[in-house]
Structures are given as C-alpha cells and as structure tokens.
Chains A and B, each alone.
Chain A
Amino acid sequence: MRHTISVLVENKFGVLSRISGLFSGRGYNIESLSVGETIDPQISTMTIVTTGDDWIIEQITKQLNKLVDVIKVIDMTELDHVEREMVLIKVAPRQEDKAEVLRLAEIFRGRIVDSSQKTYTIEITGDEKKIAAIVELLRPMGIKEFVRTGKIAIAREGVKKA
C-alpha cells in the first residue's frame, strides 16, 4: 500500500542523504520526496511517498525515527489529511487542439504560466487523482515536458460541533 510519511528533521547539511541513504540501503522505495523549511528555519519537513506492506511501513517509520536528526515521523495515511502536489506541464498542441488545452486548464483550475507560438505551460495543483486525470486528458494533445514537485501533506484539524 502507498503511504505518505511526513518527517520533521533538523535543517542541517547531510540530512537528506541520511534519509535517502536509509531508503536505498534497506531497499525501500521512494515514489516522491519533497523537502522544505518549516516556519522554524532550523527544522525542515520532508514528505515521502513510499509503498510497502504493513511490515515494511512499520520498519520505515521506526528506521526514520532512529535517525539522530529526525525529530518526528507522522504516517499521514493513518490520519485525515490534505495532500497536494504541483505540476508544470508544457503542451505543444496542434492548431486545432489549442482551444481544448485552454478549456481543460480552466476546468482543472490550472493557470497558463507561459506561452509561445507552439506551446502552453500549465500550472496545476491538486491531489494525485486530479493530476493523473489532467495528464491523461492532455497526453493526446502532445505533452512536451512535465515536472512535478512531489507530494506535500498536512493533517486536518478536527472541527467541533457548535
């Protein structure tokens, strides 16, 4: 099963390689990894998407926790949470498809962030399903380049009834 794991780490050099080295050294998968500073510049969040059965995920969480620079490990998959990823898609549509590309971008609440005679670059933010959907729809139009940030995730707060 796929898990999204959020890891709070000390913002020091070498931490990323400790984490990636743990995954490669023990043969775990990383599907995506995104890193960024938190509000406290001494701490970074790494959001790791990985797959494995319960045994493997348990080991991954424990092994991450064992690293000296890791402050906290949260398996988001176990919580109610929001996931987002951003992609930039450069499309080179045929003349007759151009309008359809713009229409799709609008439907998916994307933004055109660059355009040229032959291409549009669309910025899309969303969860996995949404991104997969637009990619499938744009693919026949001719995707020239495609980059993604990797997933980030945050836990939802419970809302008390009034």
Chain B
Amino acid sequence: MKISGAEIFIQSLKKEGVKHMFGYPGGVVLNIFDHLHDEKELQLILTRHEQGAVHAADGYARATGKPGVVLVTSGPGATNTVTGIATAYMDSIPMVVFTGQVPTMLIGNDAFQEADIVGITRPCTKYNFLVKNVEDLAQVIKEAFYIASTGRPGPVLIDLPKDVTTHKAEFVWPEHAKIRSYNPTYEGNKYMITQAAHMIAKAKKPVIIAGGGVILSGASKELKEFAEYTDVPVTMTLMGLGGFPGSHKLSLGMLGMHGTYYANKSIQDADLLVAVGMRFDDRVTGKIDAFAPHAKIIHIDIDPTSIRKNVRVDVPIVGDVKKVLSTMNKVMKDEVKEQWQEVRKAWLKQISAWKAERPLEYDRNADVIKPQFVVEKIHELTKGDAIIATEVGQNQMWAAQFYKYDRPRTLLSSGGLGTMGYGLPAAIGAQLAFPNKLVIDIAGDGSIQMNIQELATAVINKLPVKVAILNNRYLGMVRQWQELFYQERYAHTKLDETVPDFVKIAEAYSAVGLRATKRSEVEPVLKEAFSIKRPVMMDFVVDWREKVYPMVPAGAAIDEMLFREEEKKSEKKLKAVR
C-alpha cells in the first residue's frame, strides 16, 4: 500500500528508534505536523525558537549518545537552525535536522519562505540532502542517520519539499545503509599501536590529552584502564571533561587557555603526549610553535584530517578511540610495568608539586558571592551526580574548572563554536532524555538572554531544569579581555541596569525565580531549587570583578599564564571605571 511522504517520514523515524524530536511548525511542514497530531510513540517538543530546537536536540544527543532530531519549516525556520547546526558540527554531535522546503516546482523561484538551506548549511553539516522524489525518502532518512552517527559524528540535514510530503509511495525500509564513498576507519593500525605502546613504556614524562572523541566513542572505561596501567596523568579538553574522572588522582583537569597551571606545565615539560580523540584546537595549544616543545606526539583520532592539521605527529593512529584503546590495552600488557614505575613516580611527584604550588583558587572567605563558589557548591550539593549544561564565557570556564566531572555525558557545552544561548535549550533536551536527573544550566546574565524564551518550553513540558545565573551584569569574558588587553575600555560589555529582573522573568513564565546576593544565601537557594520539581531560575548576584584564572593570553605559549595577583596592580583603576 502506498502511503504519503509525511507518513513515510514518521514510519522511518520509528524504525530508527526515535522517540523524541524538537521543532516548530510552519506552512510547508503542515502535512507532517498533521500526522504527528495523533502520534503516540513519537513526541515532538515545541520550542519557542528554531535555534532552541536544535540546541535541545544537541543536548539530548550529548546526554544520551543517540542522534538528536529536529523538524522545522522552510525559509526562516530553516535559517534559524544554522547556529545550532554549526554548534553541533564543531563538536561532532550526531543530529538529523529536517527542514521543510517549498514545493519542488517552486524551488529557485524565490517563493514565499524559500531559502536554499542545503546551500547555506553545506559547510556546517557532515552531509545534507534535498529529497526530490518521495520514493527516495526512506533511503535518504536511513543514510542520514547512518552518516550522522558513524565515523566522526555530525549533523545531517534533510530538506523536504512540501509536495514530497504529500506524494505517495510504497514504504520500504532499507535494511542497510551502504554508501560506497563513505567508509570510516575504525580499527587502528596494529603496527602503529605497538609502536605507540613501546614509546609509552619508555617515556619519562608522558601526558594523555583526552578530547571529546573519548566521550563520543564511549571509551571512558578503556581510557581509565589505559591511564591506570601505564600511570600516565590525564588532562582533558573542554569537550573531554567527564571522559576521565575529574576527581581521579591522575586527573590534571582541563588544559589550555583557562586550563590548570599543572596541566599546562605538564604539557610543556612532557616528553610524550598521547592525544586521544582531540584536535589541537588553538584554545588548547596556545602558541603552536611553543606547544609541548620536548614531546613526541601519538595522536589517535577517527578523523584523518585532525591528524597533522595543527601539530606535527610522530605516531598517527586513525581509528575509533574505543577500539584503538582496547587494542592498546592488550598490547600494553606485553610491556612490563617495572620499566616505567620508578620514572613515573618522579614525574607524578613533580606534578603533585605543581598542583600544590598553584591549585585552582579564589577568595573563599569573601562575603560577596564569588561565581566559583556557586559552581563548587553545586558540585558539593549534587555530589557530582548531575548533568551540567553551560552557556559560553566566564560561566562556562568556571563550570569547567570548579565542577569535577566524573562521568561522561555529564557536561553539555558548546566548545568549538562557543555559542551563547546554548545552555538552556541543551539542558531541556537532556532533561527530556533523563526526567529524573538533576539538570543544571550554569549561565551568565548575557548568555541566558539569548534563548531565554525556552523557559516556556521547560515549563509547559514539565521539564524541571535548573538555571544558575552567575549574574555580574557584564558580558564578563569580553570584559575580562577588555580589562586585560584593551586598557579597561568597556565597549558595549556593561549590561548593568538593563539586566532584567530574572526572578520576575521566571515568574512571568510560570517558573520559579530565586535570588541570592550574599555568600550565605547561596546554599539555601540551591537546596531550595533542587527540591522543587519545576523549572527554577536562580539569580546569583556575583562579584562583577571576578575573572577566570589562570589565563593564557591569545597567541602566548600555554605556560605563559596570567594569575590573579597581577590583577591587584590595576585595582585602583578599576574603581575609577566603576
């Protein structure tokens, strides 16, 4: 029996095991929405902006590992997804985005709500399709999910002209998606792995850098086994946090621009780096010529283009991180532990000394609320058992520094693109997947206003996300740069009296609003928020002067860090500005 494209769409998603998607209706997708109206197994969450829908699907994907699914209309509906798609693309998040399109006969005619979304998203999707024939629809959907979730994952877009959703065809679900031109490499080269194992055994000062690939491939267990057997300390990129337990004795926390002193020192002193599922982003390496000057580099990544893109690599291993590490763990057993135990002790002792010399710090006795204190309290009260989403800027860096992520898929943050407004919708997506988990968006007063409308989505769908706004009345990270590098000329970063009353905003959306203005109020506010089974927005009025330290200025080597004590010199000037 022939069924319509809209029905094929729904049947195909069910075959893919999709339970939830996020979206927004419009003219050309009405046929699909009409069919969704009576649908029981497939739930569409209506967001209040298409960007919110994509970030929510992204958060859902990061928290679960399953591809996020989005359905929006043509034209503005489609173009509004672009930031979300680019966000997912930069961080390799599996996602399938369906956009409506004007009927095939009108394509190219500048029809109402027409946009060439396939053209627009070509550079920020892993792949995209324009379906011209309803007979192709099921095959295209199968291939889209396959491409999105295999190899280095990423977003895939399917453009669906309106007539394709009404035309009828037999529904034949393809068993396999085989694409002759798409064959990711999963197994690492055995010779290279053996060579790497040998180098690790012989190294005196090795460091593992774990990136988002560890989480994407589900390799946390293998990584832990590897690090523990070889006694190699592990530092993580922002995307890698949670890939290795943050509270583990071998953990060095995050490296890079706002990385820990000891992570950056270790990298610069290391004689061997084992880079696992990461891509040597400029925020990680700092000045590339001065990065890890003494180290040989072993680089494991599923994407060959990541290897030798930014840094020289001595042993490249193309493959799935989980598979490579599990082979590596077997091969490693051939190397006797005794050969490195002594040298490793000395290395770990050196690292302990760096840890003691400069731990992550802030004024823990201040009466004003220090933003780091809020993050630490969140960690303490949740015992690390929460899903944390972040916005972008200072809030994101403090969330990365002062919360210890012990499990993968517990930090949702826009790393590559750095998208403000990501956190709230991402938290909503994660909450939908895990209704009983505590999901907290650590936000800034700037970022939260970029997708604040999604509070409505949380309220109406009874998704009890918590938003902790570290409110400093500034676009804090930009202000920090202006303070340090632009002679304190705060061009367009002072929000001040224009910052809305977040408690009232929460209440206007029928969520709960809470506020803390003193340190002593932080814990009660958090406890109250966590006990309420509804969305809560917490306004923490924090010390506006607080900055993220350590900091590597852009273009400097990663051991050329700025620390808090350098701030005191300019404090007088700061007062004058205020």
Name A residues whose Cβ lies closer than 8 Å to a Cβ of B: 9-10, 14, 17-18, 21, 25, 55, 58-59, 62-63, 65-66, 68-71
Contacts and interface: CB of A to CB of B under 8 A. Distances in A.
A70 B308 contact: no
Contacts of B182: 68
B308 A55 contact: yes
A103 B223 CA distance: 73
Contacts, number: 33
Contact of A62 (B118, B119, B305): B305
Most buried by B among A14, A21, A58, A68: A68
A48 B182 CA distance: 21
A25 B123 contact: yes
B181 A10 contact: yes
Contacts of A9: 181
Contacts of A55: 308
Given A55-B308, A58-B308, A71-B181, A66 B303 contact: yes
A69 B30 CA distance: 32
B502 to A, nearest CB: 39
Nearest to B184: A66
Contacts of B123: 21, 25
A101 B303 CA distance: 54
A34 B118 CA distance: 24
A63 B127 CA distance: 14
B181 A68 contact: yes
A25 B123 CA distance: 8
A119 B179 CA distance: 51
B122 interface: yes
8 cross-chain pairs, A with B, having the tightest CB-CB distances, nearest first: A71-B181, A62-B305, A68-B127, A62-B304, A68-B182, A25-B123, A63-B305, A66-B305
A66 B147 CA distance: 12
Contact of B181 (A25, A58, A69): A69
Nearest to B123: A25
A26 to B, nearest CB: 10
Interface in B492-529: none
Contacts of A69: 181
B179 A68 contact: yes
Contact-size category for B: 10 to 19
22 contacts: A9-B181, A10-B181, A14-B118, A14-B122, A14-B130, A17-B119, A21-B122, A25-B123, A55-B308, A59-B305, A62-B304, A62-B305, A65-B304, A66-B303, A66-B304, A66-B305, A68-B127, A68-B147, A68-B182, A70-B181, A71-B180, A71-B181
Interface in B168-197: 179-182
Contacts of B180: 71
A57 B308 CA distance: 11
Nearest to B180: A71
B221 interface: no
Interface string B90-133: 00000000000000000000000000001100110011001000
Interface in B284-319: 303-305, 308-309
Contacts of A14: 118, 122, 130
A25 B284 CA distance: 22
A63 B308 CA distance: 12
Contacts of A66: 303-305
Interface in B147-161: 147
Most buried by B among A17, A55, A62: A62
Contacts of B179: 68
B122 A18 contact: yes
A64 to B, nearest CB: 10
Nearest to A63: B305
Interface string B530-572: 0000000000000000000000000000000000000000000
A17 B122 contact: yes
Given A9-B181, A69-B181, A70-B181, 12 more contacts: A14-B118, A17-B119, A18-B122, A21-B122, A21-B123, A59-B308, A59-B309, A62-B304, A63-B305, A66-B304, A66-B305, A71-B181
B130 to A, nearest CB: 8
A39 B303 CA distance: 31
B184 to A, nearest CB: 9
B119 to A, nearest CB: 7
Nearest to B304: A62
B383 to A, nearest CB: 42
Contacts of A10: 181
A71 to B, nearest CB: 4
A66 B118 CA distance: 18
A61 B437 CA distance: 45
A87 to B, nearest CB: 32
Contacts of A62: 304-305
Contacts of B127: 68
A9 B308 CA distance: 25
Contacts of A17: 119, 122
A62 B152 CA distance: 14
Nearest to A22: B123
Contacts of A21: 122-123
A14 B118 CA distance: 9
Contacts of B308: 55, 58-59
A18 B305 CA distance: 16
Nearest to B181: A71
Contacts of B126: 68
